[in-house]
Amino acid sequence: MLAHNGKPPKILIVDDEQANVHALERILQRVTRADLRSTIDPRTATALYTEFKPDLVLLDLQMPHLDGFGVLDALKSLIDADTYVPIVMLDGEMGPETKQRVLSSGAKDFLSKPFDAAEVQLRVTNQLETRALQVECEGWRRNARARTRELGGAQLETVERLAMAIEYREDGTGEHTKRVGQWSALLAEAMGLPEANIMEIRLAAPLHDVGKIAIPDRILLKPGKLGAEEWTVMKAHTTIGAKMVSGARNSLLLTAEAIALNHHEKWDGSGYPRNLQAEAIPLPARIVAVADAFDAMTHRRPYREALPEHAAVAELRRCARSHFDPQCVENFLRLVEDPGTRSLLELS
């Protein structure tokens, strides 16, 4: 029998009687052609386990200095939660209560002394096969997770580049998306969000306007006010952007989808595309809406000049409870007014 890596399985025997060790070695070498290690001193079991990294442990229950339960507890601390290494307990007289304790303590099976060769072969083979299957399944899971991350990362990088392309069309530098991401992350932190959510918002916020890739230049770059039909086309960038980042089920792209779709919804329900109101609007979108508005107001756009910062602050205050989440505005204005905030931003 081969282990999961195509090599003979590794079996560690811990038993204080050398005769028992020899008996097990003779049986196992005939059947498994295993790579065997053994010790008659239970106090050396953990060091030997660490060095040998076995696929299976045969562990005597009754031993001096440290019994099988003590060794089992020590070994469990060395085995990762996602790793399956079966431990089979050995004992001469194992009653029902002892068997129950053995299994509840983490051992996977037990063998009675004196050893029956057929029983040893059967139980050891079953445990090694289970070990090989568990390791193979974990390998599949790791590969699937890596592939998912790879595909998600490739999709995210593609969409980020599209977002930058849009910003080059609008402001000539492509820096707006970067600034919105930085402001949004600071605001998320100020509102007490967990670190993982802050990072997701930081990475997803720059994609808020990615749907503008589908908006014609004659509308996107128009210096004057948009007509009714033009405005209908412009508003479609929210649904288009959400579709561009949809499909992947990782949390980062789910956040990007929610932001792209909802960052033009308004607190009073008068926004688009779905007329969501108040807390029905996803929080990441409410955060980005404030950061996006402030940055857009304080930087030149094709259709208007930049506003002074104090004017942008006044506009945010005026639109709290109508356009924007008032709590988001309150926390954002604290950031703007804090001299230390600028040192946290990598603004150009």
Residue for token pair 């060794």: 71
Predicted local distance difference test score (pLDDT) of residue 140: 64
Alpha carbon distance 58, 31 (integer Å): 16
Tell me which fold the domain 10-142 belongs to. Rossmann fold (3.40.50)
Predicted local distance difference test score (pLDDT) of residue 348: 36
- What contacts 338, CB < 8 A, 6 or more positions away? none
Residue for token pair 């053994």: 38
H or E segment at 188? helix 176-190
- The pTM of the full predicted model, rounded to 2 decimals, is 0.56
For 224, other C-beta atoms within 10 Å of its C-beta total 6
Alpha carbon distance 200, 282 (integer Å): 14
Predicted local distance difference test score (pLDDT) of residue 324: 97
Predicted local distance difference test score (pLDDT) of residue 15: 96
Alpha carbon distance 286, 281 (integer Å): 7
CA dihedral (52, 54, 58, 59) in degrees, to 10, reads 50
- The sign of the CA dihedral 164, 166, 170, 172 is positive
Q: Specify the domain boundaries for CATH 3.40.50.2300 within the chain.
A: 10-142
pLDDT tens, N- to C-terminus, the chain (348 residues): 555 556 789 999 999 999 999 999 999 987 777 899 999 999 999 999 999 999 999 999 999 999 999 999 999 889 887 788 999 999 987 788 888 888 888 898 989 899 999 999 988 988 888 888 777 767 666 665 565 565 556 656 666 666 666 666 665 556 788 889 899 999 999 999 998 899 889 888 988 988 888 888 888 888 788 899 999 999 999 999 899 888 766 788 889 999 999 999 999 999 999 999 999 999 999 999 999 999 989 987 766 788 899 999 999 999 999 999 999 999 999 999 887 776 666 543
Structure tokens at 120: 């040893």
Q: Which CATH number fits domain 175-344: 2.40.128.520, 3.20.20.210, 3.10.129.10, 1.10.3210.10?
A: 1.10.3210.10
Predicted local distance difference test score (pLDDT) of residue 162: 65
193-201: long-range contacts, CB 8 A cutoff, minimum separation 24: 193/283, 197/255, 197/284, 200/251, 200/252, 200/255, 200/284, 201/255, 201/259, 201/284, 201/287, 201/288
Alpha carbon distance 98, 295 (integer Å): 69
Structure tokens at 127: 């445990």
Predicted local distance difference test score (pLDDT) of residue 92: 83
Q: Specify the domain boundaries for CATH 1.10.3210.10 within the chain.
A: 175-344
